[in-house]
Structure 1
């Protein structure tokens, strides 16, 4: 091999190796200081794409877990109010049982009616005041609520919670208090005579019941109660209807075949073809009537229906809450596994990287020393020039 001084191949080769070693050492320092194996796309293009996808999934699962927690909070808010609604309904039922006893006088029944009115008013207030972050839960305005409990946009990432059975506003409307029948005045009982015809509409089935009753001769009735007694003795009348006298001494005609009877001039008209009856629309119709034992029995049926509906709604909400808790546990496991997968791709193996750094550091020091030697290798030419 000849001796050249313009081109020092040994020095160039040493420098190239030293530059490569310095690059490797700089990358090792970057990975050790950041804790990431992939700091830019050039480090591992495919790994970066995969790890970013996993990162999106982990972030989505984190938010989905919070969403599920919010879902539990919503259910607990609604179910807590429904618990009080059920307590109120149980109290109304107790009062209906109490009203079914004829040992109650008119004032006792009025007191029962007053308390029930207050309780049903409270049901209305609960339906209006129960909300979560401004969303009404018990007023029937929303049939269901949707919760995002997954990281993706598919249907399996969503849970629907039904609020259909939790319509407390509807429950309050269904339990209005009033005379469960059509009210008619009997201004002059002694004038009652002939055949009376009654038409009462069943609110539950929308069926009108037309019944006739044959009454005695004029003058045989002395009081409104005697008119009611005469109607209740009539075979045709008592098979479908019941007559009673309300607190205002007016005749009340109601159904004894089930359903809720609505009074008034249009629905539940109480018409009369007999002498002595005056059509009245003053009677307030309602599902709950505590003025008679028969009305109290019908009220019991109506209240039991609502208690069952609330119990079902609470059971559905409890099941949904348990489902949310299961979702949260599953999300936690999925998040842990995806995080571990992303870490294996993107994070630095500190021990392995330290080995690489140590190697690069030693090679850098050796390369620097060898570059100095290579630069001195052509000094022998000077001896030829002396």
Structure 2
């Protein structure tokens, strides 16, 4: 091998190897410090694209689950109104039976009717109850709200939650400004209203259960999506720390060899001396 001064091939080769090792070391450091396997798009362009789609799906899934939780709160509030209405009707039926007591005089019956009329007004107030500005019950007719149960939104599966016409289910003579007295009221009118509300509560519970299962499915889906995304984008710390140690040694060895290669041309000075 000839001895030259102007071109040091060994130093150039050592320099190139050192630059490569240093670049790999920096990439490994970036991965470990960020916790992500894909620091730059060039690391895994295809994987990055898939991860971005999965991340968006995960966020939409979480948002849908929040919406379902709010819908269940709507149903729970609605059921609270049903419970209150049932208690009111129970008391009204009791007042009706008490007013039929033949030992009661008209004043006694009038006193029962005073409470009876106040309870009518309370039922009327329940009909107008709202949840965050949304009516719990249909005004002038039954309605429904469509709750999306997939991350596709309204384009996917939905669950309808009812906004029943509570006023109709209770009956006009038990609500509002109706002047029917407790003694004139038929007991069957009150018991029919109680039965109607019982059916509404059953429907409310069924819808709430369905939303609960939909939420459970979304939770499982989100967990699986998170795991899939993790396999694409998250760095394996054990594996990457091993690579870090390797590249660290290569950088140190490359630095030493570059210094050695740079000094190797000094043999020419001995020949000239």
TM-score of the two chains, using structure 2 as the length reference: 0.87
Taking the aligned partners of 1:355 and 1:172, their CA distance within structure 2 comes to 73
CA drift of 1:322 comes to 2.0
- Greater displacement, 113-122 / 5-14: 113-122
- The answer to whether 1:136 aligns with 2:23 is no
Q: Please, what is the CA RMSD of the aligned residues?
A: 2.6
Taking the aligned partners of 1:380 and 1:176, their CA distance within structure 2 comes to 113
Q: How many residues align?
A: 271
CA drift of 1:152 comes to 1.7
Taking the aligned partners of 2:138 and 2:89, their CA distance within structure 1 comes to 17
Higher relative contact order (CA 8 A, sep 6+): 2
Write out aligned runs for 1:198-213 (5 A): none
Partner residue, 1:47: 47
Partner residue, 1:373: 260
Preserved CA contact (<8 Å) 1:120 1:172: no
Taking the aligned partners of 1:125 and 1:379, their CA distance within structure 2 comes to 101
Preserved CA contact (<8 Å) 2:64 2:150: yes
Cα pair distance change 1:154/1:145, threshold 3 Å: closer
Structure 1 unaligned regions, length at least 5: 178-283
- The answer to whether 1:121 aligns with 2:8 is no
Preserved CA contact (<8 Å) 1:124 1:168: no
CA drift of 1:175 comes to 2.0
Q: Deviations over 1:336-364 (max 9, x none)?
A: 22111111110110111111111111111
Determine which of 335, 355, 378 is the counterpart of 2:222: 335
Partner residue, 1:215: none
| Structure showing the higher strand proportion among its residues | 1
CA drift of 1:94 comes to 3.1
Specify the structure having the higher radius of gyration (Cα): 1
- Look up the SS of the partner of 2:145 in the other structure: strand
TM-score of the two chains, using structure 1 as the length reference: 0.63
Partner residue, 1:318: 205
Preserved CA contact (<8 Å) 2:170 2:194: no
Structure 2 unaligned regions, length at least 5: none
Partner residue, 1:275: none
Q: Deviations over 1:228-264 (max 9, x none)?
A: xxxxxxxxxxxxxxxxxxxxxxxxxxxxxxxxxxxxx
Preserved CA contact (<8 Å) 1:123 1:168: no
Write out aligned runs for 1:71-82 (5 A): 71-82=71-82
Determine which of 166, 180, 202 is the counterpart of 1:168: 166
CA drift of 1:136 comes to 2.3
CA drift of 1:96 comes to 3.6
